[in-house]
Structure 1
C-alpha cells in the first residue's frame, strides 16, 4: 500500500510522475496539498489528476488539503498532520513525499514538516522542471543530539567508510560491542546504512551524517 503526498499547482506533471514511476492501485492514496485561494487552473489540475486516477481504480483514496499560504506556521503544522494522519490511518503504508511542484510556500512548509518525520517516510522525490525527470532524493534527517562517542563513531565511518564495525572499534580503541551499540543508534537515526559482509557488518554514512557532523563541529 502506498500513499503519495505532493503539492499541486497548475502543472500535474509533478504528481503524475509519481504514478508513472511507482504505480498506483486499489487501496493506495494521494494527498494533494494546495492553496486555499480558489483558482480555475488549480481546480482543473486537481480534477485532471482525480479523473485519471479514477480510471485506474475507483478504490484509490484521493484527498485535497487546502492550506492558507498567509499562515506559514499553520501550513507546516497542516503538513505534519497530513503525514501523521497517514501513519495513523494506514499503518504499514509506504509514504512517498514529493518535494516539488505547487506553490513555493507550500513546498517549503512540506519540506520542513518532512524533516520532522523523515525516518517514517519511505521515499522522497523531486521532479525537475528542467529535465522533466523524477529523482529519488535522500532528505537529511536532523536527529536528536548525539553523545561524544556516537559522534566519534559517525566521524570515523565518514572518514573510512564503507568500513566494518570491528575496524571502527579498532581505530577508536573501544570494544566491538560498544561500537555495535553506537552504530545501532546511528542506524535508527538514519545517519548510516549497514550491509552484511560475510559474518560482519559494513557501515557507510548517509547524507544526514554530513549535516549532523557539520552542526556539531567545534569552531
Structure 2
C-alpha cells in the first residue's frame, strides 16, 4: 500500500503525473492538501474532481482524501503536515509540486524532517513536464565534533575515499574511523561500500548540506 501526500492547486497534472510515475494499486490513498480557507473554491473542487476521475479510470479502488492546512501560520502548518506524514499508511510518497506556496513550503519542511519515514520525494517540473525523485537531506542528523571532522575530510575529497586514506590524513586509528563512518552512514550522511578488502566512502547530498549548516553555526 502507498500513501501519496501532495498539495493541490488548480492544476491536476502536478498531482496525477507524479502518482502515475509510481503507479497505483487497490487500497492506495491520495492525500491532497489545501488551505483551510479558499480564494476560489470552485476551481479547487474542479481540480480535485479531475484527479478523482483520472485515477478512477486507472484504479477504482483508490481512496482520495482532502486535508485542510492552516496556511497563515507556518509552525502550525509544518506540524499539521508532519502529522499527516507520520499517520500515513504503507509507503509514504510526498509530492512537492503544485498548490499554494503557503502549503508547499511547510510540506517541504515536514518531509525533510521525516526523511527516514518517507519512501520517496517527487517533484513535477513546470519546465519540461518530467517527474524527478528528490534526495531529502537528513535534517535531524547530529554528530559530535570528532565525527564531523571525518565527514569534512570525506566531503573535501569530492569523490570516493578509502578508509586507509582517511586514517592517514586524519592521523586516527582504523577502528575510530570505522566507527565514525558507521555513525555517518546510519544517519544518511555518507555512503560506504567494499571494494575488495577496502571500504570506500563518499559523502551524500545530505552530508554536504549538514556540514554547511554546521559551519554556519
TM-score calculated relative to the size of structure 2: 0.89
Shift of 1:29: 1.9
Q: Deviations over 1:52-111 (max 9, x none)?
A: 22232333232211113223222111100000101xxx3xx3222111210010001101
| Aligned residue runs from structure 1 range 63-82, under 5 A | 63-82=65-84
| Aligned residue runs from structure 1 range 1-219, under 5 A | 1-38=1-38, 39-86=41-88, 90=89, 93-160=90-157, 161-217=159-215
The 1:172–1:129 alpha-carbon spacing in structure 2 relative to 1, beyond 3 Å, is same
How many residue pairs were aligned?
Answer: 214
Shift of 1:176: 2.1
Q: Which moved more, 1:194-203 or 1:1-10?
A: 194-203
TM-score calculated relative to the size of structure 1: 0.88
Report the Cα distance in structure 2 between the residues aligned to 1:41 and 1:198, rounded to whole angstroms.
59
State the superposition RMSD in angstroms: 1.9
Q: Which runs of 5+ in 1 are unaligned?
A: none
- SS in structure 2 of the partner of residue 119 of structure 1: coil
Q: Determine if contact 2:15/2:97 at 8 Å carries over to the other structure.
A: no
